[in-house]
A and B are shown apart, each in its own frame.
Chain A
Amino acid sequence: GENVEQHPSTLSVQEGDSAVIKCTYSDSASNYFPWYKQELGKGPQLIIDIRSNVGEKKDQRIAVTLNKTAKHFSLHITETQPEDSAVYFCAASIGIKAAGNKLTFGGGTRVLVKP
């Protein structure tokens, strides 16, 4: 089955700096890669996702890049703000409509943005 590795496990940045989280996956059939943000006491919230036919996607201060050959994808947060402090999870799935979208998650990255 799919295995997703995520690094680093913790990340501390100064407000205004950039944060980068990296993930690798094992199953070359995976074609859907979402990123979730989880705040204390809450469920994971989708912040951005990318599909295998796209190499990069941006949404305001957040961007995700995908390298299918190397089987890795990354989350970039620019101009970090204290409210970006949370645990971030990457995930991967085959995403076949008929088979359901079972996500395999990485271990998470705890991001702390220091004011």
Chain B
Amino acid sequence: DTGVSQDPRHKITKRGQNVTFRCDPISEHNRLYWYRQTLGQGPEFLTYFQNEAQLEKSRLLSDRFSAERPKGSFSTLEIQRTEQGDSAMYLCASSSFDRHSDVLTFGAGSRLTVL
């Protein structure tokens, strides 16, 4: 069990560009969550998957954001036409619905800087 892996760890991009983040959850975990954390604040829920199904999206997730988990394993979060306000840490977490369904394990995050 190598924990939750996120890639890339850091991304610097220019406004208007598209970026994609990848998350590999703990292998036996069937739930996957995305959170956003801005500097000095607590994480905010964006969306979550159970297996490949995206079951809920926060209103924070504008039309420029899309998340997928095509085979119920890794997930990607894409931001199109990035804006400076998108600069944040994007955290992925996973949990096991069948056993410890409430316990989220977070990855180290992907930090996005939009210039």
Contact = CB atoms under 8 A, between A and B. Distances in A.
Interface stretch (B14-22, B39-47, B67-75): B39-47
B106 A104 contact: no
A61 interface: no
Contact of A95 (B35, B91, B102): B102
A100 B109 contact: no
Interface residues of A, number: 28
Given A44-B91, A101-B95, A102-B56, A107 B104 contact: no
A41 B108 contact: yes
Contacts of A54: none
Given A43-B4, A45-B106, A107-B42, A101 B101 contact: yes
Contact of A44 (B6, B48, B56, B106): B106
A108 B95 CA distance: 22
A61 to B, nearest CB: 21
Question: What is the size category of the interface that chain B forms with chain A?
Answer: 20 to 34
A32 to B, nearest CB: 5
Contacts of B42: 4, 6, 89, 91, 105-108
B102 A93 contact: yes
Interface in A66-115: 89, 91, 93, 95, 97, 99-108
Nearest to B97: A97
B107 interface: yes
Nearest to A4: B42
Contact of B43 (A6, A89, A100): A89
Given A41-B108, A42-B108, A43-B91, A101 B43 contact: no
Interface of A: 4, 6, 32, 34, 36, 41-46, 49, 51, 89, 91, 93, 95, 97, 99-108
20 contacts: A6-B42, A34-B103, A36-B106, A41-B108, A49-B103, A89-B43, A91-B42, A95-B101, A95-B102, A97-B97, A100-B31, A100-B48, A101-B101, A101-B104, A103-B43, A105-B42, A105-B43, A106-B42, A107-B40, A107-B42
